[in-house]
Amino acid sequence: MAMMDGKAVLVTGAGRGVGRGVAMAMASAGASVVVNDLGVSLTGDNQGEASPAEQVVEEIRAMGGKAVANHDSVADWDGACAMVKAAVENFGRIDGVVNNAGNLRDVYFHKMSPDDFRAVIDVHLMGSFHTSRAAAPFFKEQQSGAYVHMTSTSGLVGNFGQANYSAAKLGIVGLSKSIALDMQRFNVRSNAIAPFAWTRMIDSIPTDTPEQQKRVEGLKKLDADKIAPFAVALCSDAGKDVSGQIFAVRNNEIFLFSQPRPIRTAHTADGWTPETIAERVFDQFANDFYPLHRSADVFTWEPV
């Protein structure tokens, strides 16, 4: 038997890039797939374009798999419920949710408008909540299920001009961990993946300088389809003991990320004042402060 035989999975943002790769891999592994894609521009503007999801469905059916298209928005609660309902009505169940849908509105923080911030939060963070919450009652009833949420090193490490995206993606990490804790007793797992991939999400990076051009050339080596096998493994029964974790996938590299834990402590029997904190604590902790790194400062080597 294939790893996902008999299972049904919802993949959001599955018309292109990472989502398309995940949907195809799920189908190849035997899953029935709800292929969700709104068909919008990179900034989230509706283009009235439903074809990407339909094309993926046709590809899955052509190779003998089962799939249906959905064009609702993850930012809308009713739309998220409709996606889950599509899986249950067409395939009789839902076993996995891959929260991949996303948008970008990159701008430096001092220029970022409330609309820029809210638009990205609504799709990434609220969207992940909506679809996950919509599937939760079904997972609880059947005493099984798996969530895979796409986070980003923009949130885990940092990047310029992405306060909205970084906040959303780090929020997803907290959401995933909370789901893992709350639904553990129902045999439901929840994990996050930071994908490294060349997609239209990062195709908008400027190439005005030699440094930017070099960075983009490196990013183009990152195959979006390389994320899919890990997502399938997490959703399969083989991943039943993996929950509450943060991973990254970069071509043939798989990373397990650390999670925040205390690394230093300072105490005093007399209680602290602002003055004694400034005199003693800052200097004591200084060697362990994290520098203002960006993702590229941490992942400095060529993809494997």
Residue 32 covered by a domain? yes
Residue 3 covered by a domain? no
Q: Exposed, middle or buried by CB within 10 Å (0-12, 13-18, 19+), for 208?
A: exposed
Domain CATH number, residue 207 = 3.40.50.720
Q: Tell me the backbone φ, ψ of residue 188, rounded to 5 degrees.
A: -105, 135
Residue 97 covered by a domain? yes
CA count, 13 A, side-chain hemisphere, 128: 29
Sign of CA dihedral 210, 215, 218, 220: negative
Q: How far apart are CA 71 and CA 74, in angstroms?
A: 9
Q: Beta 253-256 vs 246-250: how paired, if at all? A: antiparallel
Q: How far apart are CA 220 and CA 205, in angstroms?
A: 11
Q: Tell me the backbone φ, ψ of residue 98, rounded to 5 degrees.
A: -110, 110
Domains in the chain, number? 1
What pLDDT is stored for residue 200 in this prediction? Answer: 61
Residue 157 covered by a domain? yes
What ranges in the chain are assigned the alpha helix state H?
A: 17-28, 51-62, 77-91, 114-121, 127-142, 153-156, 163-183, 210-219, 228-235, 274-276, 282-285, 295-298
What ranges in 63-162 are assigned the alpha helix state H?
A: 77-91, 114-121, 127-142, 153-156
What is the residue-level pLDDT of the chain in tens, covering all 304 positions?
799 999 999 999 999 999 999 999 999 999 999 999 997 655 555 555 448 999 999 999 999 999 999 999 999 999 999 999 999 999 999 999 999 999 999 999 999 999 999 999 999 999 999 999 999 999 999 999 999 999 999 999 999 999 999 999 999 999 999 999 999 999 999 999 999 987 665 555 556 666 666 666 667 789 999 999 999 999 999 999 999 999 999 999 999 999 999 999 999 999 999 999 999 999 999 999 999 999 989 998 888 8
Pull the structure tokens for residue 246.
Answer: 């943060």
How do residues 56-88 score in pLDDT, each as one tens digit?
999 999 999 999 999 999 999 999 999 999 999
What pLDDT is stored for residue 133 in this prediction? Answer: 99
What pLDDT is stored for residue 220 in this prediction? Answer: 73
Whole-structure pTM value:
0.92
**Which residues does the annotation mark as catalytic?**
165
Tokens 């553990």 correspond to what residue?
A: 184
Residue 285 covered by a domain? no
Residue 272 covered by a domain? no
> What is the residue range of 20's domain?
8-259
Residue 283 covered by a domain? no
What 8-state DSSP symbol labels residue 301? S
CA angle 32, 35, 37 (to 5 degrees): 175
Q: How far apart are CA 169 and CA 277, in angstroms?
A: 32
96-99 sheet: strands from edge to edge = 67-70, 32-36, 8-11, 96-99, 145-150, 188-196, 246-250, 253-256
What pLDDT is stored for residue 202 in this prediction? Answer: 58
Residue 284 covered by a domain? no
Pull the structure tokens for residue 28.
Answer: 């190849």
